[in-house]
Copies of this chain bind each other. A is one copy, B any other.
Amino acid sequence: MKYILGIDIGGTNIKAGLVHNGKVLKKITVPTHAGQDPETSLKQIKTTIGHFVNSISKIGIGIAGIIDSKEGIVRYSPNLKGWQDIPLVRILEKEFKKPVRILNDVNAILLGEWIYGAGKGYRNVFLFTLGTGVGGAAICEGKMLFGAHGFAGEFGHATINFNGPRCLCGNYGCLERYVGSRYIIELAEKKVNLQKSALSRYKELTPRIIAIEARKKDAVAKEVFEEIGQYIGIAVSNIVNLFDPEIVIISGGIARAGKVLFEPIRKTAKEYILGYKYRKIKIVPARLGDSGGILGAAYFAC
């Protein structure tokens, strides 16, 4: 029995899983060591594949960054130090003698959610990933949008306030600069300094902790999610006005916050989407969690 290996390469961890019939059968996680040189993280990728190589027929890999799927080249990955124009497919196919395909990690997650998760059955789908980075990907009329160079979907650095604060990318007022994890935490910390909150009991805040406290009705945590939800709602509206999808899927850690996040998103979207009443539009959390990227990458390899 030969399986497909799905791999999700992030700035922190490499997650890999044996996939069969849309299920992840066995999963491992190893550190990416992305802060070192490309050789070190490449070695980690090879070790990961080595684990599974005898039981697989194909390999699909999702990687953050600008990925040229057609040529099999990682053009540039902001999370992997020194990765520039790396012909990853050629390197891995030579080493393991198995067909390899690579795609952008957010495209992989969308593919997973579209085939097996929240987007199943829809023909026009947009997915946001909210984490350290903010990304996007689109299915238009039943086809994944790759664009002319395979770079489509980068919405984390869409300008939502050109007078806004500077983003790590160098531009100003990017969506990511408002709803990336570090900025959610920053916003909460600012509010905690001014108001009484259950959040002040934590040594270090995470979006997850803020979500938990918001669900417990902590006023500050709720305020944070209301504000963040508005920003995401504006981004969702821009996307809906542009792509006119049936469904927008929000993935990533904070999407698990539930109602405290989705209520302000939906409220803002209702206000900002043109011709809202003429559309059927769903805004929902992702369903597959960590497995989305692995399943999507494996599907892409088929």
With a 10 A CB-CB cut-off, give which of A124, A147, A280 has the most chain B CB atoms.
A147
With a 10 A CB-CB cut-off, give which of A75, A161, A242, A274 has the most chain B CB atoms.
A242
Please determine whether B163 and A279 come into contact, CB atoms closer than 8 angstroms. Answer: no
Q: When the two chains form the complex, which single residue of B68, B145, B149, B162 contacts A160, counting CB atoms closer than 8 Å?
A: B162
For A154, what are the chain B residues with a Cβ–Cβ distance below 8 Å? 241-242, 274
A246 in the interface (beta carbon within 8 A): yes
Please determine whether B148 and A244 come into contact, CB atoms closer than 8 angstroms. Answer: yes
Please determine whether A149 and B274 come into contact, CB atoms closer than 8 angstroms. Answer: no
Give residues 234-257 of A contacting B (CB, 8 Å). Answer: 234, 237-238, 241-246
For A159, what are the chain B residues with a Cβ–Cβ distance below 8 Å? 160, 234, 237-238, 272
Please determine whether A75 and B274 come into contact, CB atoms closer than 8 angstroms. Answer: no
Q: Closest B-chain residue to A145, C-beta based? A: B140
Please determine whether A246 and B148 come into contact, CB atoms closer than 8 angstroms. Answer: yes
Number of copies of this chain in the oligomer?
A: 2
Please determine whether B150 and A244 come into contact, CB atoms closer than 8 angstroms. Answer: yes
Please determine whether A278 and B244 come into contact, CB atoms closer than 8 angstroms. Answer: no
A14, chain B: closest CB distance, angstroms = 23
Give residues 134-174 of A contacting B (CB, 8 Å). Answer: 136, 138, 140-141, 143, 145-155, 157-164, 169-171, 173
Q: When the two chains form the complex, which single residue of B75, B245, B246 contacts A275, counting CB atoms closer than 8 Å?
A: B75
Q: List 26 A-B contacts (CB under 8 A).
A: A66-B274, A66-B275, A68-B278, A76-B275, A136-B242, A138-B242, A140-B140, A140-B147, A141-B146, A145-B243, A147-B244, A148-B245, A148-B279, A149-B278, A149-B280, A154-B241, A157-B241, A158-B241, A158-B242, A159-B272, A160-B162, A161-B161, A161-B173, A162-B234, A170-B271, A242-B242
